[in-house]
A and B are shown apart, each in its own frame.
Chain A
Amino acid sequence: MSPRSAVLAEQITARFDGRLQQVPSRTGELTYEVGKADLTEVARALRDESAFRFETLVDLCGVDYLGFGQAEWDTTTATGTGFSRAAVREVIVPDPAASFDPRRFAVVYHLLSISANQRLRLRVFTGSDNPPVLPSLVEVWQSADWYEREAFDLFGILFEGHPDLRRLLTDYGFIGHPFRKDFPVSGNVEVRYDPDKERVIYQPVSIEPRVLVPRTIRDDNRYLPDLKEGPARG
C-alpha cells in the first residue's frame, strides 16, 4: 500500500469507525465493505468531506458470488480411479421463491477523487432479500443512473429511489437476469424467422451447453497461502 493510501485508510477508520470493514488486498488497493443501511450516508460523506472528496463514481457493478471458489475438475486428490478427466458442469436451477445466501449478491462501487488523486472501492452485500434491494446513489453521483440500470438489468438488483429503473442492455421484453451465475451462457430462448407464421418467433434454445476448458483451481506454490486473499464469502 502506498503511503497516501495508508493515510486515506487511517482517515476512513477514524471517521467511520467500525462501519467500514477493510478487505485485505494483495495489490494494495483500498477496499471496504459497507452495510446496506449505512450506504447513502457513507457515500455522501465520502463525496463531500474535505478529507475524502470523491467527486466521481467511476464504476458501479453487480457481482453474483454463487459458486465462488468452486472448480469443475478435482486436481488435489486422486481417487481410486485417478484424477477426474471430464468436467461435469453442475446445472444450477434457480428457485424463484428462495431467499438468497446473504453474501451472494453484491454491488461494487469504484470511487475516484480527481482533486486528491485517490481511488477507493466499496462493496455492499444485498442481504438475503429476494429480489435483492439496495438504496440508489443517483442523488449522490449522477453517473450512478445508468450503472444502476445496468446492474438491475443484468443481476436483478433493485435500487430504491432510482428515478427510472428500466432495463438497459438486454432486448425489449427480455426475461431473466443474464449475468446471474444460474443463468446459462447460451440463454433460454432463441429467435428465428418462422416461414409458416411469417414472423420472427421465440423458441427454447437448441444448443447443448458444453464445457471446452474445465474450470480448474490449482494451489500454485508461487502464490503463498499468506498472500492469498480469503474468498470473499466469509
Chain B
Amino acid sequence: MAEFQQFTLNFGPQHPAAHGVLRLVLEMDGEVIQKADPHVGLLHRGTEKLAETKPFNQSIGYMDRLDYVSMMCNEHGYVLAIEKLLGVVPPLRAQYIRVMFDEITRILNHLLWLGCHGLDIGAMTVFLYCFREREDLMDCYEAVSGTRMHATYYRPGGVYRDLPDSMPRYRDSRWRSSAEVKRMNETREGTLLDFVEAFTDRFPGCIDEYEALLTDNRIWKQRTVNIGVVTPERAMQLGFTGPMLRGSGIAWDLRKKQPYEVYSDLDFDIPVGVNGDCYDRYLVRMEELRQSNRIIRQCVQWLRANPGPVTVDDHKLVPPSREDMKGDMESLIHHFKLFTEGYTVPAGETYAAVEHPKGEFGVYLIADGANKPFRVKVRAPGFPHLAALDDMVRGHMLPDVVAVIGTQDIVFGEIDR
C-alpha cells in the first residue's frame, strides 16, 4: 500500500459533527491538521437583503431563523435597534418578560450545545437528558407565542401579548396511562409563571446530573482539556465574544458592561475561565445555565407582583385592540395603515447589541425615513468564531476538530444568514 503523508481531507457538508452544513477542507500531515479552510454559505438565504424589501415588523420572523436555537435573543437585537431609532422605551413589564425569555432562550441554547457537544465526542446520555429539559422550555415558547421555535414574540414597543394564564397540557392517549399523564401535567395546572418557577426549582438538580456525567469524566477531560487554547489577547484580536471570550478569562458580558432592558436591576454573576481551552468554555457555559436560572427566578417574582401593559400605548407603532377596532374609526385606520404600510422610522443609523447565548449579537440598522430598513447588517457571534477555526485547530489531531467545532457552538443559520 502506498504511503500517504500529506493529503487534503474533505469534511462535510453532510456530516453529523459539522453542526449543520459546514464544509471543511483540511490539509493534513498524517493525522495532524496543518490548515483548515471552512467553506460556508450553504445556508445563505440573504436575510439582510430580504429585510430591505419588507416593512420593519415583517422581518422579525426572519430573525428567529438566523440562530435557530436561540430564537428570541435574535429578535431582541433587531427590535432593540428599531426602538433605538424610534426613541421608544417599552413598558417595564415587557422588559422583564423579554429578559425572562432571553434567559429561557440561553438555557435552550446551552442545552442544545451541551447535548450536541457531548454527542460529538462520545457522550450519548447527556444528549437525551438535555432534550428532556428543552422540551419544557419549548412548551413555554408555545404557551406564549403559539409556536415552539420561531416565536416572533418581541415587537418594537414591547412584546406581542401578555403571559398566558394556562399552559398546554398532555392528554390521555393509547400510549400513556392516565396516571402518567397526571404526573406529566402536575406542573401545568397553573399559569405560565407557575410552570416556569417549577422548572427553575427542578433545573439546578438537572445541571448537577449533567455535571455528574461530564465534569470529572476522564474521557471528557481527555477530549477537552488543553484543546483549542485561545489566549485573551488572541481572543480579542479574533473578535471573540460571549463564552468564547469569557473562557479565555476576560470578564466581558454586555448584560453587565452595557446593560440593556432591566439587567442592571437583576442579581447574577459572570463566570470566567482560566486556561481558554474547551474544558474551561464548558465550565463557563455550565455556570451560565445556573446564573440564567437565577435570573429567571427573579423575573418570575417581579412579573407575579407587577401586572401592567406589555406594549407602548402608541398605535402608530403597535396595533390597537381588536375590540377598539369594532367601534372606533381612528383605531380602524391605525390598524389598516400598520398592516398595509407599516410605520416609518426616522432617518439615521444605529447599532444595537445584546448578549446572545453565543456572544454579541448586534444589528446595524440604517434607515432613510422609509417604512423599510435601508440596510440591516446582522453581526452574528458565530461568524468570527468560525473564522478563527483555522487558528484554533492548527497542530491538533483530526478528532480535536470536532471538539473545537463543538466548543464554538456553531449554528449555520446565523453564520450564513
Contacts and interface: CB of A to CB of B under 8 A. Distances in A.
Contacts of A213: 54-55, 58, 340-342, 371-372
B250 A114 contact: yes
Contacts of A170: 41, 44
Nearest to A223: B346
A35 to B, nearest CB: 19
B237 A228 contact: no
Interface stretch (B4-12, B124-132, B262-270, B360-368): B360-368
B416 interface: yes
A5 to B, nearest CB: 12
A63 to B, nearest CB: 5
Interface stretch (B141-149, B205-213, B376-384): B376-384
A40 interface: no
Which residue among B252, B364, B384 has the maximum number of chain A CB atoms within 10 Å of its CB? B384
A142 B237 CA distance: 6
B387 A145 contact: yes
A59 B364 CA distance: 9
B257 interface: yes
Interface string B336-370: 00001110101111110100000010101010111
Contacts of A218: 344, 369, 371
Contacts, number: 145
A59 B370 contact: no
Interface in A63-95: 63-64, 68-69, 71
B260 interface: no
B89 interface: no
B40 to A, nearest CB: 7
Interface stretch (B45-53, B193-201, B392-400): B45-53
Nearest to A63: B375
Interface in A103-159: 108, 110, 114, 117, 119, 121, 141-143, 145-147
Contacts of A29: 349-351
Interface in B47-102: 48-50, 53-55, 58, 84-85, 87
Contacts of B386: 146
- Please report whether the interface of chain A is mostly helix, strand, loop or mixed according to DSSP: loop
B220 interface: no
Contacts of A56: 236-237, 239
Interface residues of A, number: 53
B417 interface: yes
Contacts of B371: 213, 215-218
Given A142-B238, A179-B48, A215-B370, A228 B346 contact: yes
Nearest to B53: A185
Nearest to B41: A169
A146 B233 CA distance: 19
Nearest to B348: A229
Interface in A39-79: 55-59, 61, 63-64, 68-69, 71
A57 B239 contact: yes
Interface in B130-188: none
A117 B257 contact: yes
A27 B360 contact: no
Contacts of B383: 146-147
A229 B347 contact: yes
Contacts of A212: 54
B215 interface: no
A208 interface: no
Given A27-B348, A71-B370, A185-B50, A143 B341 contact: no
B374 interface: yes
B258 interface: yes
B374 A68 contact: yes
A87 to B, nearest CB: 11
A108 B364 CA distance: 10
Given A215-B372, A228-B369, A110 B364 contact: yes
B51 to A, nearest CB: 11
Contacts of A117: 257-258
B132 to A, nearest CB: 36
Contacts of A68: 368, 374
Given A56-B236, A119-B351, A110 B341 contact: no
Contacts of A215: 370-372
A220 interface: yes
A28 to B, nearest CB: 9
Nearest to B81: A27
Contacts of A227: 346
A230 B49 CA distance: 24
Which residue among B85, B237, B347, B364 has the maximum number of chain A CB atoms within 10 Å of its CB? B347
Contacts of A169: 40-41, 44, 416-417
Contacts of A142: 237-239, 388, 391
A143 B44 contact: no
A143 B384 contact: yes
A171 B42 CA distance: 7
Contacts of B387: 143, 145-146
Contacts of B53: 185
Given A141-B239, A213-B55, A216-B341, A27 B350 contact: yes
Contacts of A121: 349, 351
B157 to A, nearest CB: 13
6 contacts: A61-B377, A110-B362, A146-B383, A215-B371, A220-B346, A229-B348
Given A59-B379, A185-B53, A228-B347, 7 more contacts: A55-B236, A143-B384, A147-B384, A167-B41, A170-B44, A212-B54, A228-B346
